[in-house]
Amino acid sequence: MTPRRAFRLLGTLLLLAFIFCLVPPDGTGTGSGAALAQQSADAQTAATGIAAPKLTAEDYPTIAGVNARVVVWLAAQLHLWFAAFVLAVPIFVFIIEAIGMWSRDRRYDDMAYEFIKISIAAYSLTAVLGGLLVFSLIVFYPHLTQYLGAIFKETMFYYALLFFVESAALYLYYYGWHWLQGGFRKWVHLTIGLLLNAAGTTLMFLANGWLTFMMSPAGIDPSGAFTGDVWTALHNHLWNPINIHRMVANVAYGGSIVGAYAAFKFLSASGAKEKAHYDWMGYTANFIAICALLPLPFAGYYLAAEIYAYSQQMGITLMGGIFAWLFIIQAVLIGTLFLSANYYLWCGMARSEGAARYYPYIKYIAVVLIGAFLVWFTPHTLVLTNEELKALGGPYHKYLGPLGIMPAKNTAVNVMILFTALSFLLYRRANRVVTVPWEKAGNAVQVALFSAGIVNIFFLGIYHGYFTNTVYKVASSIPQVITTLVVIAVSILIDAMMYRGAKEVAPLRWGRVPDRAQYALFLLAVAFTWLMGLMGYIRSGIRQHWHVVGVFRDNSPDAFTPTLGYAANVVSVGTMIFMAMVIFVFWLSQISGVKREPDGYWKEQRA
């Protein structure tokens, strides 16, 4: 068999395995006795439904005084952090590899390989933590696990199978990297990358179905029993909003963790060449993180709006009730992400002497960013002393209060995104001068575009946000987003055309960037991790005393909403554990390249 045939066969087998995993479990057409018996049992279940058990505190096992909620909480969160990372890295590794193939620039291929190398160790940790989560659920919440297992049994089985597909694809993708080089082999390698991403994304969608069912159960009859099929359960109200949000967030998160890895390597590098390589890697990772970060607030807003639409109770708990204060911390962390990303870009201008022309503009960008950021985290309900309450004449601030609601936040975040894009545009221009004759016109169009965009964002935010009813208030966020995206896309397009054939005024020196920029990359990764932990807690916490909202009551001793401080502490401890594990992964990749020859340790072998 020729190698080409072998690859085709392998590709076909992998594809068949993947398709097999996606085939619905109906068993239609199977005439075996066992299948018919199963169908009969299924029909029985469908008739009576799967009733949620009514539990008492005694139904929740206790083991040696271990706090079940905290164990499951931390195991789930750590698993999710690693899972987000290992799902995201192959997405942009695939893209970088494709760019390398298209441009025939080997540096992209080397960088893509290094990215995937980091995710290999993280992949094992994801699986280990997934195992810990499953065992914790079985041990501490057996009835809930059994209930979810009864509803999602098919998807859980396919989940396990897909895990094999994903593992096989990942190992083939990583270990076959240098083997599958050049021509047709490279295409096969890229296809394996695609398969890896398809399997990983499907895995995430399945798991998202389980957790969103707990928030917005579907297929429940008036008596509270589940009578739907697995698709109904999976395709519940919040499934797609979570799918979109997690997909985008994972890419941004993966970019930030890889950026932290590049920063780690940059700071520990000794040679100029090594520094240049990791500087470029850090820049690329940050670029990926920013690209995914830009649409992320909209995906989050869509999710929150859908939660509100599904249940007023959950919506108010989320954004106006007990968790509203955590949203202020969330706002602070999101702002920190934007500030870190911008600071990294500004510091990166040091790579070229040509950037000095743009330094005077940075302070104005900073003023707008900080101004928008202050609006972004201004709370609606203030923490007031009695004296302040008297001075204000009530619990609301007459002028800052209106900044506490979503229209002001949406306006602020759109402005922050636009000015982050502006930082990026200035960075791109740093080492080049335009040669096209229409430079002035091009710049004027860009200025006009940004100005018109900002005016439109303000108009939509102020008019629809404060002078129309809620449905328009929520809906106006969509044209705001579109305005932002159009301004960014068109101005980048104009810029690309203007700078085609541009003259280089000074070379771009990779590696010539201050260490402070690397700490900005660390801050980006830590802020992302903490943010995900806090928001994950909120998403789960809005179920309050329900395992499955309105259907399956949580009667465990932990069925209460902990204080915000306690929750923040648990998430912070989780963040520290995760960051320690990530540093361990970085260190592993560091030592894997070290080769020592100890003197006199090994016996001399005769030739």
Partner 1 sequence: MMAARRFKIPRLAQAVLTVALIYAAFRVVFDIILGQPIPASLMTMYMFFVVSGVFMVFTFTEESTQELVAPIRALVEDPSKKLVRNIVFLIVPLAAAGLTYMKMLPDFAAPLELRTIHPAPPSSAELYGKRFDLLNLTNPFRKFEKADPEKFQQLVAEGGAVYMANCQYCHGDKLDGKGPYAAALNPTPLNFQDVGTIAQLQESFLFWRIATGGPGLPKEAAPWISSMPVWQQFLSEDEIWKVILFLYDYTGHRPRSWEHE
Which 232-271 positions form the footprint of partner 1 (CB under 8 A)? none
165: its two tokens:
């597909």
Residue from 561, 562, 577, 581 touching partner 1 (CB under 8 A): that is 561
Closest CB to partner 1 among residues 17, 405: 405
Closest CB to partner 1 among residues 176, 320: 320
Closest CB to partner 1 among residues 164, 560: 560
3-state secondary structure of 415: helix
Q: How far is the C-alpha of 170 from the C-alpha of 162, rounded, in Å? A: 12
Instruction: Give CA separation, 491 vs 435, 498, 522, in Å.
Output: 18, 10, 30
Closest CB to partner 1 among residues 282, 442: 282
Where does residue 550 fall: left (phi above 0), alpha (psi -120 to 50 degrees), or beta otherwise? left
Q: For partner 1, which stretch binds (CB under 8 A), given 111-119, 186-194, 368-376, 489-497?
A: 368-376
In the window 1-60, what residues touch partner 1 (CB under 8 A)? none
Half-sphere exposure of 59 (CA within 13 A, CB side): 14
Interaction between residue 469 and partner 1 (CB under 8 A): yes
Closest CB to partner 1 among residues 194, 384: 384
Interaction between residue 588 and partner 1 (CB under 8 A): no
Site size toward partner 1, by CB under 8 A:
71
Residue from 545, 583, 590, 592 touching partner 1 (CB under 8 A): that is 545
- The minimum distance between CB 511 and partner 1, in angstroms, equals 14
Closest CB to partner 1 among residues 202, 212: 212
Residue from 544, 558, 577, 589 touching partner 1 (CB under 8 A): that is 544
- The minimum distance between CB 258 and partner 1, in angstroms, equals 23
Instruction: Give CA separation, 404 vs 343, 378, 411, 465, 470, in Å.
Output: 26, 5, 12, 12, 15
Interaction between residue 514 and partner 1 (CB under 8 A): yes
216: its two tokens:
């917005």
Residue from 350, 478, 502, 508 touching partner 1 (CB under 8 A): that is 350
Amino acid at residue number 412: A
Interaction between residue 379 and partner 1 (CB under 8 A): yes
- The minimum distance between CB 299 and partner 1, in angstroms, equals 20
- The minimum distance between CB 329 and partner 1, in angstroms, equals 10
Q: Which of 292, 261, 293 is CA-nearest to residue 279?
A: 261
CB atoms within 10 A of CB 19: 9
3-state secondary structure of 435: coil
Closest CB to partner 1 among residues 399, 602: 399
- The minimum distance between CB 212 and partner 1, in angstroms, equals 18
Residue from 164, 560, 584, 587 touching partner 1 (CB under 8 A): that is 560
The H-or-E segment that residue 478 falls in is helix 477-498
For residue 504, what are the β-bridge partners? 432
3-state secondary structure of 259: helix
- The minimum distance between CB 41 and partner 1, in angstroms, equals 33
Residue 356 DSSP class: G
Q: For partner 1, which stretch binds (CB under 8 A), given 229-237, 255-263, 281-289, 341-349?
A: 341-349
Interaction between residue 540 and partner 1 (CB under 8 A): no
| Burial of 37: CB neighbours in 10 Å, binned 0-12, 13-18, 19+ | exposed
Closest CB to partner 1 among residues 193, 241: 241
- The minimum distance between CB 219 and partner 1, in angstroms, equals 18
In the window 278-337, what residues touch partner 1 (CB under 8 A)? 309, 311-314, 316-317, 320-322, 324-325, 332, 335
- The minimum distance between CB 224 and partner 1, in angstroms, equals 13
In the window 471-510, what residues touch partner 1 (CB under 8 A)? 471-472
* CA atoms 381, 73, 245, 150: torsion sign: negative
Q: Which of 512, 593, 517, 513 is CA-nearest to residue 113?
A: 593
- The minimum distance between CB 30 and partner 1, in angstroms, equals 42
Residue from 173, 213, 377, 424 touching partner 1 (CB under 8 A): that is 377
User: How would you write 132-181 as a 3-class SS string?
Assistant: HHHHHHHHHCHHHHHHHHHHHHHHHHHHHHHHHHHHHHHHHHHHCCCCCC
Q: How far is the C-alpha of 281 from the C-alpha of 276, rounded, in Å? A: 9
Closest CB to partner 1 among residues 187, 325: 325
- The minimum distance between CB 401 and partner 1, in angstroms, equals 6
Amino acid at residue number 471: V
Q: Which residues of 70-92 are buried (b: 16+ CB within 10 A; e: fewer)?
A: ebbbbbbbbbbbbbbbbbbbbbb
The H-or-E segment that residue 88 falls in is helix 68-103
- The minimum distance between CB 293 and partner 1, in angstroms, equals 17
Q: Which of 115, 464, 51 is CA-nearest to residue 278?
A: 115
Closest CB to partner 1 among residues 204, 326: 326
- Cβ-proximal residues to 560 (8 Å cutoff; 6+ apart), any chain: 545
- The minimum distance between CB 473 and partner 1, in angstroms, equals 8
Q: What angle do CA 75, 80, 84 make, to 5 degrees?
A: 155
In the window 61-100, what residues touch partner 1 (CB under 8 A)? none
- The minimum distance between CB 357 and partner 1, in angstroms, equals 13
Expressed in angstroms, the distance from the first to the final Cα of the chain is 37
Residue from 134, 190, 291, 405 touching partner 1 (CB under 8 A): that is 405
In the window 383-402, what residues touch partner 1 (CB under 8 A)? 383-389, 391-402
